[in-house]
Structure 1
Amino acid sequence: MSRSRLSHACLLVLPLLHACASSEPVVPEARELLDTVRADAARRSNVAASQVRVLKVDSVTWRDGSLGCPRPGVLATQALVPGWRIQVEAGGHALDYHASRRGGFLACPAGRAQDPLPSGRD
C-alpha cells in the first residue's frame, strides 16, 4: 500500500478506534442531546463538562409526557413518548436524565423516577 493510501486509511480508522477505546457509549443519533446533558450535569455538579462521564444511554419509550419523572400537581400529556434514559457521573455524583427524541430533557431525582415501558413494547 502506498504511503498516501495508508495515511488516508488511518484517517478513516482513527476516529473509529477512538470511539472503541472510549468507555462512554456511542449513540450517534443522540450526540447533540448528550452534549447538552453533559453541560447541564457539569453546571449542577460545579465541574467542567469534560469531567462529566456518560455511563449509559438507553433507547426507551416513556409512558407519558412526564418522561418518567412526574411532578406533583402537574398534568402530563397522555401519549407514549420515544426517548432516552441517560446516566452520567459528574463530580462523584450519579445523575439520571430522562429525555424525549425531540430533545427535551430533565434531571430526574431518584424519588420521582419511573421506569419506561419494558423493551419490545416501544
Structure 2
Amino acid sequence: MLHPSFVMKILKHTLAYLVLVSLLSPLVGTIAPVSAAPQPSYEIAKSKPRKPSGTSDYLSPSRVNILRQDLSRRIGIPPGKIRVTSVTQATWPNTCLGLPTPGEVCGQALVEGWRVVLVSGSQSWTYRTDANGQVYRLEESPAPQTGLPQAIADRVLQDAAQRTSLPLTTLRIVRAERRTWPNGCLGLSRSGEMCTQALVPGWRVVVLAGPQRLAYRTNDSGSVIRLESSPGS
C-alpha cells in the first residue's frame, strides 16, 4: 500500500505538468522550423530582356564616315564635300538588305538596320546598312521620269562607264531631252566623215559621272550615240 505522502507528491507533479502543457500549447503553431528560409514580403523585380548582342540604338559616327568614304570613291568627290542629312531606322526583308545583286542568294530573315542619306550639292544618295553598319549597300537611283527608253539609257550608261572607268552603278542620268539633230552624224561629224543630210529625231542625255557630267546625243532608237566634246550641263 502506497504511503499517502508519496501519492500526494505524484499528484503535484502531474498537476504541474498539465498546467505547463496548457500554457505552452498556443505557442507551438507559431514557431517556424529552423530550416525554413524566411520569405520576403515584396515581389522580386524581374530583369528586363536584353537586346541581342552587338546591336545599337544608333549608328556610330565612324560607320557613317565609312559610308562617306565609300561614296567618295564611287563618285570622285572628296569626303569633306559629302554631308549626312538623314539617318533613320529601317527593317530590311533579307540579308541582302533588299538589294540583291544578280545571282546572289540572300538569307530570308528580317534585318534591322539603317537608311542613311548622303548629299553633295544638289545630288543625293541613299545607303542601307545592318544594325551596326558593318554591312551596307548603295541604292540605285532611278532615272528621271523623262520617257527615255531603257535601251537608250543602258547604252549611254555603258559607254560612260567605259570612258570613266567608274562602276556602272555609280553613274546617274540627270537629264534627258528630246532633240532633232541636223544630220545623220547628230551634228557631231568627225573629220572626213560623210553624214546623211536629213533631220534625225533623237535624245540629248546628260550623265553624272563622279565630278563631271557627260552629254550624249543619240538617234531615236539608240543605235547611234555620240559624246559631245565639251562637258554637258
1:38 corresponds to 2:157:
yes
Calculate percent identity across the aligned residue pairs.
Answer: 34
Instruction: Report the equivalent of 1:68.
Output: 187
Q: Which amino acid aligns with 1:100?
A: N
Choose which of 103, 107, 112 in structure 1 pairs with 2:227: 107
The structure that has the greater radius of gyration is 2
2-structure distance, mates of 1:38, 1:55: 11
Alignment equivalent of 1:92, drawn from 211, 220, 227: 211
What is the CA–CA distance in structure 1 between the aligned matches of 2:154 and 2:175, rounded to whole Å? Answer: 14
Q: Residue 26 of structure 1: which of 145, 150, 155 is its match?
A: 145
- Look up the match of 2:128: none
- TM norm structure 1: 0.66
CA–CA separation in structure 1 for the residues paired with 2:216 and 2:148:
16
Higher relative contact order (CA 8 A, sep 6+): 1
Aligned to 1:49: 168
Quote the offset at 1:28 in angstroms.
4.1
More helix by percentage? 1
Taking the aligned partners of 1:90 and 1:102, their CA distance within structure 2 comes to 23
Which whole-Å deviations, capped at 9, do the CAs of 1:40-74 have from their partners, x for residues lacking one?
10111111111111111000110111112121221
TM-score, structure 2 normalization: 0.36
Extract unaligned runs of 5+ from structure 1: 1-21, 114-122
Match of 1:86, SS state, is strand
* Residue of structure 1 equivalent to 2:197: 78
CA distance in 2, matches of 1:94, 1:23: 17
Cα offset, 1:24, TM superposition: 3.6
Q: Distance in 2 between matches of 1:25 and 1:68?
A: 25
Question: What is the rounded CA distance, in whole Å, between the counterparts of 1:106 and 1:43 in structure 2?
Answer: 14
Matched AA of 2:204: R
CA contact (8 A) 1:64 1:77 kept: yes
Deviation sequence 1:79-122 (CA, Å, 0-9, x none): 000100001111322111010012221222129x9xxxxxxxxx
Contact 2:146 2:177 in 1 (8 A): no
Maintained 8 Å contact 1:46/1:91: no
Name the count of aligned residue pairs: 91
Contact 1:54 1:88 in 2 (8 A): yes
Q: Is the 8 A contact 1:88 1:94 kept in 2?
A: yes
Q: How much has 1:29 moved relative to structure 2?
A: 4.8
Alpha-carbon distance in structure 2 between the residues aligned to 1:110 and 1:73:
21
